[in-house]
């Protein structure tokens, strides 16, 4: 079965939920339904998700009145970051009489994947009412409280989690972070018990900030931002700028946190306020410029990014931002100058090297030749890096050296089998060379591993274009 839009397939299958039951099979014929479910579970456990999806859909078509295939589909879609299809499957399971607790738990997790935090609270409350000891759901509900700024409720949920599991490191970490906003002494034992990287950095922030509450809140916010915890960072930084409205870097960092949680208008307000308060702050200028750049407004970004570079000329990240700025403005020669400046400033930094090579490839600057050179250097410095081999394979492909491209892309997926983009690029190569079955296999491997909606759409398009 060729890969199809799962939502469309589900709609077809769901139509059968209300059809007349099919005639029973002769008693001598084995019932395939349990085998299909077991096969789907086995495939899902191996992350062969496309095949697992087909097994569960086949089971649902064979026995349309049974909720079990839909519950399994919902779990599969939850793990596959396809929450809308998951919610459709849960709705089918619920109509067919699936247990209310399992329905509520799955729905809570799927709403969390969609970042619909109000729905998480609603369905999570029902799930916890039916099963108060469900730690995974209580974690999601506590996270929703953090995302919505309900600090006291979040603390209550994390305390409840620790009453269930005394040594839950994530609950200790999050409770410690929330207590650090107002009660550092109470936060420390939880952060020490958590012993996570974020908890360690938060302990360092508390130790370094002394008795200055504004500085403590800013340091807590910075630590949370560094670990990708934008909602927690926002809570700390909001309190920091409330205490000191003239704190320019606090406004800049708060803008960054708000942007990462999708609050774009509020983010821009704080970023602009930071620049008004401190026009000579490289941090404020760079974050506001990057905000405009990501919003597709390079003309607005330009004065801020240029000013940021003048203030901090040794920062290679600013050179990359300027390269992107000038490329967006159509000034590709200038963009190339700034790419080379980034490499000059950080010649041994693999992250900078990867970003430069990817930029050359994505923008087709210098015809792929410079991407090839940078990628070769990356492979020499990090021969076990799947990302480096993938970039080198892409560069060879762009230059028309297909055997070399295949070799490098195969190395990338061998070293990092979960590297979705490498499987995708391998599938593109095979499709270009007319090796249809190999292309389909590589693209399905990419599809099975894909958790990025944007890349998912590209994979689906590539599969649809295969003969």
Taking CA atoms, 262 is separated from 135, 176, 223, in Å, by: 27, 25, 20
pLDDT digits (tens, 9 = 90+) for 33-74: 999 999 999 999 999 999 999 999 999 999 999 999 999 999
pLDDT digits (tens, 9 = 90+) for 117-140: 999 999 999 999 999 999 999 999
pLDDT digits (tens, 9 = 90+) for 234-276: 999 999 999 999 999 999 999 999 999 999 999 999 999 999 9
Residue ranges of E strands in 65-143: none
According to the model, what pLDDT value does residue 59 have? 98
According to the model, what pLDDT value does residue 29 have? 65
According to the model, what pLDDT value does residue 2 have? 40
Question: Of residues 3 and 438, which shows the higher confidence score?
Answer: 438
The Cα–Cα gap between 174 and 194 comes to 9
The Cα–Cα gap between 29 and 270 comes to 68
In 3D space, the residue among 162, 223, 215 whose CA is nearest the CA of residue 190 turns out to be: 162
Q: At 391, is the secondary structure helix, strand, or coil?
A: helix
pLDDT digits (tens, 9 = 90+) for 203-243: 999 999 888 999 999 999 999 999 999 999 999 999 999 99
pLDDT digits (tens, 9 = 90+) for 423-432: 999 999 999 9
Average pLDDT over residues 436-454: 97
pLDDT band at 339 (very low <50, low <70, confident <90, very high): very high
Residue owning tokens 């307000």:
269
Residue 3 has pLDDT above 60, yes or no: no
278, two tokens? 């401190």
Q: At 278, is the secondary structure helix, strand, or coil?
A: coil
pLDDT band at 384 (very low <50, low <70, confident <90, very high): very high
Average pLDDT over residues 275-303: 97
List of residues 6+ apart from 12 with CB closer than 8 A: none
The Cα–Cα gap between 288 and 275 comes to 8
Give the N- to C-terminal CA distance of the chain in Å, as an integer.
14
Residues above pLDDT 70, as percent of the chain: 94
Average pLDDT over residues 294-318: 97
The Cα–Cα gap between 345 and 355 comes to 14
CA of residue 136 relative to chain centroid, distance: 19
pTM above 0.85, yes or no: yes
Helices and strands (H and E) in the chain: how many: 27, 0
According to the model, what pLDDT value does residue 31 have? 87
CA angle 412, 413, 417 (to 5 degrees): 130
Residue 26 has pLDDT above 60, yes or no: no
Average pLDDT over residues 341-369: 92
Average pLDDT over residues 417-424: 98
According to the model, what pLDDT value does residue 195 have? 96
Q: What DSSP character marks residue 227?
A: T
The Cα–Cα gap between 333 and 76 comes to 47
Average pLDDT over residues 176-180: 98
pLDDT digits (tens, 9 = 90+) for 71-125: 999 999 999 999 999 999 999 999 999 999 999 999 999 999 999 999 999 999 9
Residue 27 has pLDDT above 90, yes or no: no
- For 157, left (φ over 0), alpha (ψ -120 to 50), or beta? alpha
Residue owning tokens 């496309």:
50
Residue owning tokens 């099919």:
22
Average pLDDT over residues 345-357: 95
Residue 181 has pLDDT above 90, yes or no: yes
In 3D space, the residue among 214, 226, 159 whose CA is nearest the CA of residue 181 turns out to be: 214
């Amino acid at each position: 079965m060729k890969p199809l839009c799962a939502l469309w397939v589900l709609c077809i299958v769901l139509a059968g939920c209300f059809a007349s039951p099919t005639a029973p099979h002769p008693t001598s014929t084995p019932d395939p339904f349990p085998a299909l479910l077991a096969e789907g579970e086995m495939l899902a456990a191996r992350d062969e998700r496309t095949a697992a999806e087909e097994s569960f859909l086949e089971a649902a078509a064979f026995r349309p009145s049974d909720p079990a295939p839909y519950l399994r589909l919902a779990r599969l879609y939850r793990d596959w970051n396809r929450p809308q299809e998951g919610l459709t499957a849960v709705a089918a399971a619920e109509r067919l009489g699936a247990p209310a607790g399992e329905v509520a738990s799955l729905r809570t997790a799927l709403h969390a994947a969609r970042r619909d935090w109000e729905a998480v609270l609603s369905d999570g409350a029902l799930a916890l009412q039916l099963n108060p000891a469900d730690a995974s759901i209580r974690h999601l509900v506590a996270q929703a409280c953090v995302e919505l700024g309900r600090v006291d409720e979040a603390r209550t949920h994390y305390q409840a989690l620790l009453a269930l599991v005394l040594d839950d490191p994530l609950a200790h970490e999050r409770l410690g972070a929330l207590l650090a906003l107002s009660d550092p002494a109470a936060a420390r034992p939880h952060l020490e018990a958590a012993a996570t990287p974020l908890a360690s950095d938060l302990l360092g922030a508390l130790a370094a900030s002394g008795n200055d509450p504004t500085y403590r809140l800013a340091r807590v916010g910075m630590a949370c931002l560094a670990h990708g915890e934008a909602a927690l960072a926002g809570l700390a930084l909001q309190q920091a700028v409330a205490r000191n409205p003239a704190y320019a870097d606090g406004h800049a960092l708060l803008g960054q946190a708000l942007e990462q949680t999708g609050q774009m208008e509020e983010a821009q307000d704080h970023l602009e306020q930071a620049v008004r308060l401190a026009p000579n702050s490289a941090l404020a200028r760079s974050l506001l410029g990057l905000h405009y750049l990501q919003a597709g407004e390079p003309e607005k970004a330009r004065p801020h990014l240029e000013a940021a570079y003048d203030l901090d000329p040794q920062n290679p990240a600013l050179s990359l931002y300027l390269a992107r700025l000038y490329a967006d403005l159509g000034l590709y020669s200038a963009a190339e100058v700034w790419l080379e400046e980034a490499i000059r400033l950080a010649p041994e930094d693999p992250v900078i090297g990867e970003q430069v090579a990817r930029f050359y490839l994505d923008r087709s600057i210098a015809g792929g030749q410079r991407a090839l050179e940078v990628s070769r250097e990356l492979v020499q410095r990090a021969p076990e890096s799947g990302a480096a081999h993938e970039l080198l394979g892409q560069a060879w492909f762009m230059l028309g050296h297909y055997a070399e491209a295949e070799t490098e892309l195969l190395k990338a997926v061998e070293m990092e089998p979960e590297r979705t983009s490498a499987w995708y690029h391998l599938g593109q190569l095979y499709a270009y060379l007319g090796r249809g079955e190999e292309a389909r296999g590589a693209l399905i491997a990419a599809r099975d591993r894909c958790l990025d909606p944007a890349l998912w759409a590209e994979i689906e398009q590539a599969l649809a274009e295969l003969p």
